[in-house]
Structure formats: C-alpha cells, structure tokens
Structure 1
Amino acid sequence: MALSDRIALAERIGEFRYSPLDHARFAYPWETEAMPASGPRTWQAEVFQQIEEHLANPETRHAPCRIAVASGHGIGKSAGISMINKWALDTCVDTRIVITANTEGQLLTKTGPELAKWAQLAVTGDWFKVNATSIVSTMGDRSKSWRTDLVTWSANNTEAFAGLHNQGKRIVLIFDEASGIINKVWEVALGALTDEDTEILWLAFGNPTLNTGSFRDCYGKSRNMWKTRQIDSRNVEGTNKKYLDELVTTYGADSDIVKVRVRGMFPSASSMQFIGMDLVEQAQKREVEALRSDPLIYGVDCARFGDDHSTLAKRCGRDARSRPWLRWYGADTMKVAGDIATEAMREHPDAIFVDVGNMGAGVVDRLRQLLPDMLIIEVNFGGKGRDAVWANGVRVKTANKRTEIWTSMRSWLEHGAIPDDQGLSDDLTGPEYGYDEEQRLALEKKKHMKARGLPSPDDGDALATTFAEPVAPRSVPGYMNPENYGRSRGGDRYAELD
C-alpha cells in the first residue's frame, strides 16, 4: 500500500474514535465469501452505540463506562468482543486492553483465536501483530504501550489487573464468560477505573450460569453502575432456532437450563445454592397477614467490629416484613442489648433468640437483666442439628444447629414475607451447601463464604435464628379454642366475631 493510501486510511479510521459501529461497518469485508453477513448483528450494533453515546458526550467521556451482557448461546458474543477490541486499538494511540475469561481454556482456545481472526480480517490487519497471548502494535517501539493482553487468573493470583493504568489515554477491560470469574478478580479490577481524564470501558459478557457473584450483581445491587441487557438467543440473527425451540419444548420455558442457555436469564438457583433467588423474590413480593395467635419472635445475630454488623430480625408467623428490623455497625454489647430491650418493651415479643457467637453471650446476659420476665434463649450455631423440613414436607438430617434453622427458614420462605432489601436478599442467596461425612446437610461456613469474596450473612442469620425453637401461640379467641367446642355464649357461637 502506498504511503499516501496508508495516511488516508489512518485519517479515515481516526474518524471512528468514538464509534465502534461505524468502524465495524468500514473495517471488515462484509458480504463476501469470508464474511457473508451484511454487518454486525442487531444486539452488537446496540452495544456499540451505547459505547459511542458514552464517549461522544464530553460530560461522560472520562467516567467509567460499564456494560454487562447476559445471553443465551450462539449470539456472536466472541465476535462482538473482537470487533470492540479491534476498534479500541485502531482508534486511539497507546490503548491498553486486558481481556480475561472464566477459565484459561476459554481464554486461550476460544476467545483468543476469535480475537486473532477478526484482527487479521480487518483492513488495518497489518497495524498490529497477533501473538499467543497478546496483540501488539507494529509501529516503532510502541509494542509495550499499545496492546491487548489475554490475562489468566487464579484464586491465589488476582493481582494481574491491579496495575492496569493508562492516564490520559484509553483503557478497556473485558470479561468473557463473566459469571465464572470470582468476586476477588472483580474487586481488584476496580483499581483500573481510577485514572483521571481517561477513556475507560469495562465490558462483561457471558451466559448467566450462576445466580450469585459479581456478574449477577450487575443486574442486582450494582445495577445503578452498569448498563445491562439480557439477550434471548431466539431473537438474534443467525442462531439455530430449531435447536433452541427443542430445548424450550423439552425442558420448559421456565426451567433453569432454558433460562441460562436460551433466554439469557439467571437461574432460579445455582447448582449448590442453598436458597434460590426465586424463593427470595417471591417472599419479597408476597402479601401476608399474621394471625392473632401468631407469636412475635425476635432473632438476633451479633457481630462486633469489621465489615459485619449486628441485626435484629422480627417475625410474626408468616410476616417478617411489617415490623422494621434494626442493624448496628461497630456497636458494643450494651448498645445492642439496650436497643433491643427498648424495642421489646414496646412490642412485647413472645421470645428473643440470640446467636451466642461473637459478643452474643454478653447480649443474652444483659437482656436477661433488662427484661427479667421475657423469654431470652441462647442459640449455639455449632450445636447439634435436628431433622428439619427442606420443602414440601420432606425432612432432612442437618449437620449443626445453623444448618437446621436455615433449612427451616428455607421452607418458610415458600409462604412467608420478607423486606424488599438487597442486603437481605444477598445474604439469603449467598451460602452454598454440601454434606458431611455422615451425609447430613451442611450449610457453607462463613469463613468459606468470605474466601469466595462474600460477606457474613448477618441479616440471613438473624432471620434464621427465629426458627431455633418452637414458640407457643398466643392466646386465641374462644371460638378457636378446641376446649370450647360445642359451647356457646348466650346461644351465639359466633359472638366473638363481632
């Protein structure tokens, strides 16, 4: 190519600095034997336009642009990633791009080859050299500053993303099959979003295989920071509609396999998730009324300092929503116990259950001083677990007291009502489960949750504590008392209903 032609091409490519869509339409040999399609697919074009809208606006250009795409199979995800990668490299000098995936195999045998294919198909194919784990500039000595790197990670090595800085230029961070990337990697990646006056793109793509974790949070508690979309494979050009319809017919539209593989929706429950999101969402929306005979029960989970907090949950029969819960951060025993006593003197609960771990024993002692006539019961999470109802009347053996009460709570959620609170939802859906050596059900330990990057489920433990022991119903109207069967007051058996 003549020098004048190369200069003209560079000037033309420069016009696409903020437009991945125009770049894609220009840079590739569409409607040829190599690329029969007429251009990017509709969903790809929509994502490219979101990027353009963000970068073309001076007000948002230097704020991080976060886009998450959850999809079914076969939508052209890797091709979309590859076009974004090539556009980002072509249109900004010294762009730095880091791409990772859920596994090394995915990154090096699927994502990497697709990146290489699109990089070489482009009209600017000779601008960059494709290596096994990188794509680097062929211009002078810029191979170290103008590049894409394919970075693998492990649970013990997440720091590869911490040094991704490129102030005043452009940074692109892409997560492929993002559901399988652990929370710690997402946390470390936040360090790449701090450069001033820098174009920063963070894009997460994948099948929504897990109902917990940071990718799921993009659609939940972190949704205010992310532009999200969920794509049904049946609505995308070029997908195998016959196969997808067979999956729907075979498994049902609401089955988890169809939600994940076809509809681009997160499953109701991950494979080892103790409580599924569907149970929690239904309990958040359900309207219930407590019976007059239902006892009011307080459940207290105690934590001293750090990121954990103490929680007072309140449950009356099926209703754990109408009475406001209390939470304390960094409060001592006296403060927590005093506040609970104040609430109890106002609401007169029938029982107060307290987790005696951490500072719980001190809370129990103080409550017994302040409320001598009230039932205060210690709950030892590590104590012996009894059989508990899992669902539909099926009873299971449990490894310890904490597993027992969480199992009872799980069954209760099928009919109960809980606050529409994101923290509580995260707590309930966070723990996984397994089995001990005696094949008893065992809830995941808090320390193992923290190793996965999840906080201690303080709110979940507080609600579960209300199931520690059965509490007798409050006194009931005479017409509900079996002892009064056949009797009447003044000849009217239903006088109490007036």
Structure 2
Amino acid sequence: MQKADFKRQVAEDIGAFTHDPLGHAMYAYPWGKAGTELADKEGPREWQRWVMGEIRDHLSNPETRFDPLRIGIASGHGIGKSALISMLAKWGMDTCVDTRIVVTANTEGQLLTKTGPEIAKWFRLAINNDWFKVNATSIASTMVGHDKGWRLDLATWSEHNTEAFAGLHNEGKRIILIFDEASGIPPAVWEVALGALTDANTEIIWLAFGNPTQNTGDFRECFGKNRKLWKTKQIDSRTVEGTNKKYLQEIVDTYGENSDIAKVRVRGMFPSASSMQFIGSELVQEAQRRPIPVMLGTEPLIYGLDCARFGDDTSVLAKRCGRDARTRPWKRWHHMDSMTIAADVALQAQSEHPDAIMVDAGNIGAAIIDRLRQLLPDIPVFEVWFGSTKVRQAMFNGSPTNVYNKRTEIWTNLRDWLRTGCIPDDQVLEDDLTGPLYSFGGDDVSIMLERKKDMKKRGLSSPDDGDAIACTFAEPVAPRNVPGYLNPANYGRGGSDGRYDELD
C-alpha cells in the first residue's frame, strides 16, 4: 500500500472510534510487537478498560452524550494511571476535530517531569504519530489553521492564577479535563474548573486520578458527598496486572493492612486522618454504623444549638442522650431570624423535655438564649462562648491535654465520645466532623481547633452540624432520676418485694 493510501486508511479507521477509546487503543498502538515498548503487553489493563468502557457507554447514549462525564480513580502505586491518561488524551484528540484538553497535576514537577513525558511517549508510539506536534508544555494539531484550537496543554497553576481553567470552553466539540495526583490540587482550581462543564451540546469528560493522600478536599469529596456526580473506583494495586505484588505486600506486612501508609500507597483508600486532621473519617464512620446502645435511662437529654444568621451558614439543633445522638431527629434552619429559631426549639423542648440546652452565644445566639429562658423557665439554658480562652484541659489521644479555647474543648470532648457514641448517617455531618484541622495555640502549649474562617479559605463550609453536637459537651449535666429498681447505685440493697423505690 502506498504511503498516501495508508494514511487515508488510518484516518478512516480511526474515525470509527469516535466514541470507543478501547477500540482506538487496540488499533493505534503496537501491542505485542517485537522491538517496541509494548512487546510484552496485550492491551490496556482491566481497570483501564473499565474507564474506557464508561466513556464509550456515556458518549454512545444520546441521552447522556452532552452531559458532563466525571470519573474519579483512587489507587495505590503502579497501576498505570499516567498510561491511561495518555491513551485517553490521544484518543480524544484523534477522534474529534478541534478537541481541547487541559492536563494538570498536584505539582509543577509532577506535571512536567512525569505526566507530560508519559503523554508525549504515547503520542509518539501511535500509528498516526504525525498528526500532532509534541512540545514541552503542549501538543498541537499539525493541520494548517488548527494549532490554536485542536490541542492539549499542560497547565501549571497557583491558587491565585487559574486562568488556564477559567477559559476552557469549546462549545459544540469536545473538552477533556484531566487532574493527575488529584488529592494535591487545591480547591480554587477545582472550583474554577467547574466553568468548563457549562458548554451546551459539547462532549465533556473530567478525569481525576491519584493516590488518595488527603482525607479532606475536593478529590475526597468525589467519593463522599459528591459521589452521585462522579463514577468512581478505588483500586488496590495488588489486584492489577503488571504491578510488583511482592513489594506491595511488603508495605502491607511492614506497616499493617489498616495503616494509613498501606491504605494510601497500596489499597487505594483514603487515610484515616490527615497529619493534622482533628477527627478521622474512620472514627466518624464507625459512629455512624454503630447500633444504638442499650442505656439505663438515667442519661440526660441535651440539646446543642449552633447559631448562624444569613450568609451561607446554617443554624443547627443537635440532640444527644448519653451515647445516642441519632434517635431524635436534628433540625436545621437557613436564613432564619433568632425569634423563629427560639420558638422552634421551645416547641421541640416542650415535647421532648431536654435536661439542658447549650447554645452558641455568638452571632444571634445571645437573643436566642434570652428568648429560650423566657419560654422555658424550667430548663437550664447555657451560654457557650467558643472564643473563651480560660485555661482548661480535655482528653486528647488518651491523655489530659491543654486546649486553647472553649470551642477546642468541646470538640475534644466530642472526639473522645465518638469512640462509643452513635450519630446520624449523614454526609453533611461527616464532612463537618472530619473537616477541621488542628494546630498549636498562641501559647504553644495547647492545641487549637481550626477557625471557621480558615476552613473557608481552604474551600470548606462552616462545620455547623459539628459545632451543634459539640455544644452538647459544653457543661456537665446530672443524670436523670429513675425508679429505684433501675438505679445501679441500689444494686444489692433491695430485694424482690418492691422496696427499691424507697431507696431512690
């Protein structure tokens, strides 16, 4: 076959893979061909085929074709993430004229020394390696007049410079956005990237791959509160063809199956806690799964109320009776005035008869406290001043520890209680409890919970649900009185003649 005829045939063949990345990969690369880098490979790995199949099914369906497709892969080391990124980038540009692709990574070094060179390698390996010109930070079409719009760019970022993502539009054609080592990409970049999902009648694919190194942030949320938007898979490197299973098992044997090192580097699981995360995910998830405990009946019912007025924050009423913070439904208010919130809390208190109500005294809390004391004269209403720095201690990791302020104290008490307590299986609550970090206070001898305004700088919401249940630990509350036969203090002091009540 003459060279011109061969090129024409290749172009016709590749045109058949418009919505079939796996078919394209099997056609374009020299799998099993002696003397090539793929001489000992038969094709993409099983998990790579899964991703390619998801893309094929999404684009082939007229009902979903122009909806953004988001795929998140969290995995251990060595599974071939960069290879898949490269194959998908090549397929995307080969099969749709004027495709725009932007690739970024957690660091400039990762992008320019690892991800970028791997993409360039696969472009050169392909049967049609003359279609695009490979540069240091971009790959562009060699077709006259298309080099500006038919291209792939390696985009470095800073949290104050996200223009490469803000301008990613390509209406009526195809956009592919790729995040490599996505755990380390900051919220500002994720937020701006959302703008690329707005073009109508456009094939839009967003891929986020990486080791799950951070237990908070947008990549974690792909598998958590945003999981309905993403097709996700967590991959244990030991299950993937071609990985060094002996070495991977050595990591697991050395550090333990449930160690954070094994979870992140081998099992594709998010760590139990980031290095300065105050409450780890496992602790919260165990409290969400734990059955409601059998209790004596002496446990006081305590309301905790976190107050917010307008803005993005929410006022939240949490209810805790001993180790049970799940049975009684919580309540949230958004954009609600203090008098309405106080009236709602009073109505619930008249029905459930709590033994104490602990209220965040900041913001609109003072007005709510005054009104609750008017409406509920027989129920103690406590003021909780989060910023109070009176010297105090709480149990942290099993030891009495100095805490910087009242808010840190009540969260530390909450953290200790979660080891045996049960809470609602609610994603907002989980995100709130696992979101805050901690540091050392200004006195350098006490721990301090991350401030709300600092959490917002990291792109996280105010932990209103977390503050509400933490408020229930602000002050000690005496046990409820119970009939004598239920009071453990009377064990061995009575008989079977019903005289226990006399001892109470």
| TM-score computed with the length of structure 2 as normaliser | 0.95
Whether the 8 Å contact between 2:407 and 2:449 is mirrored in structure 1 is yes
Where do 1:82-481 residues align within 5 Å?
82-287=86-291, 288-384=293-389, 386-392=392-398, 394-436=399-441, 437-479=443-485
Indicate conservation of the 8 Å contact 1:289/1:318, yes or no: no
Distance in 1 (CA, whole Å) between partners of 2:337 and 2:465 is 18
> Where does residue 19 of structure 1 map in the other structure?
20
Work out the CA distance in 1 between the residues paired with 2:492 and 2:326: 37
Matched, 1:39 2:43: yes
- Which structure 1 residue ranges, 5 or more long, are not aligned? none
CA distance in 2, matches of 1:315, 1:45: 48
Shift of 1:479: 4.2
Moved more, 52-61 or 73-82: 52-61
Measure how far apart 1:269 and its partner are: 1.2
Find the residue that maps to 2:387 and give its secondary structure: coil
In 2, Cα distance between equivalents of 1:490 and 1:235? 63
Residue 340 of structure 1 deviates from its aligned partner by 0.6
Aligned-partner residue type, residue 12 of structure 2:
E
In 2: Cα distance, 1:362 partner to 1:283 partner: 33
Q: Which residue number corresponds to residue 81 of structure 1?
A: 85
Instruction: Kindly provide the CA deviation profile for residues 318-350 of structure 1, in whole angstroms up to 9, marking residues without a partner as x.
Output: 000000111100000101111011111111111
For residues 57-83 of structure 1, the C-alpha deviation after alignment (integer angstroms, 9 at most, x for no partner) is: 112111111111111100011011000
Aligned residues: 496
Which deviates more, 451-460 or 40-49? 40-49
Cα shift readout 1:150-192 (whole Å, capped 9, x = no counterpart): 1111122234212111111000000100111122221211111
| In 2, Cα distance between equivalents of 1:99 and 1:412 | 44
**Amino acid in the other structure paired with 1:284:** Q
Distance (whole Å) between structure 2 residues aligned to residue 50 and residue 93 of structure 1? 22
Q: How far apart are residue 483 of structure 1 and its match?
A: 7.2
| Aligned partners of 1:65 and 1:201 also within 8 Å | yes
State the Cα RMSD in Å.
1.8
Query: Residues 213-235 of structure 1, C-alpha deviation per residue, up to 9 Å, x if partnerless?
Result: 11111111111111111111111
Mapped partners of 2:121, 2:490: distance in 1: 83
| Conserved? CA contact 2:490–2:500, under 8 Å | no
Report the Cα offset of residue 3 of structure 1.
Answer: 2.5
| Runs of at least 5 residues in structure 2 that lack an aligned partner in the other structure | none
- 2-side partners of 1:183 and 1:369: how far apart? 44
Deviation at 1:373, TM superposition (A): 2.0
Conserved 8 A contact 1:487-1:493? no
**Which range moves more in the overlay, 365-374 or 480-489?**
480-489
Structure 1 CA distance for aligned equivalents of residues 66 and 306 of structure 2: 43
Amino acid at match of 1:454: L
Provide the C-alpha distance between the structure 1 equivalents of 2:477 and 2:142, rounded to a whole number of angstroms: 75
SS of the aligned residue for 2:392 comes to: coil
Percent identical pairs in the alignment equals 65
C-alpha distance in structure 2 between counterparts of 1:80 and 1:175, whole Å: 12
What residue is the counterpart of 2:6 in the other structure?
Answer: 5
Report the TM-score when normalising by structure 1.
Answer: 0.96
Cα distance in structure 1, aligned partners of 2:133 and 2:304: 62
Q: Give, in whole Å, the separation in 2 of the partners of 1:196 and 1:234.
A: 41
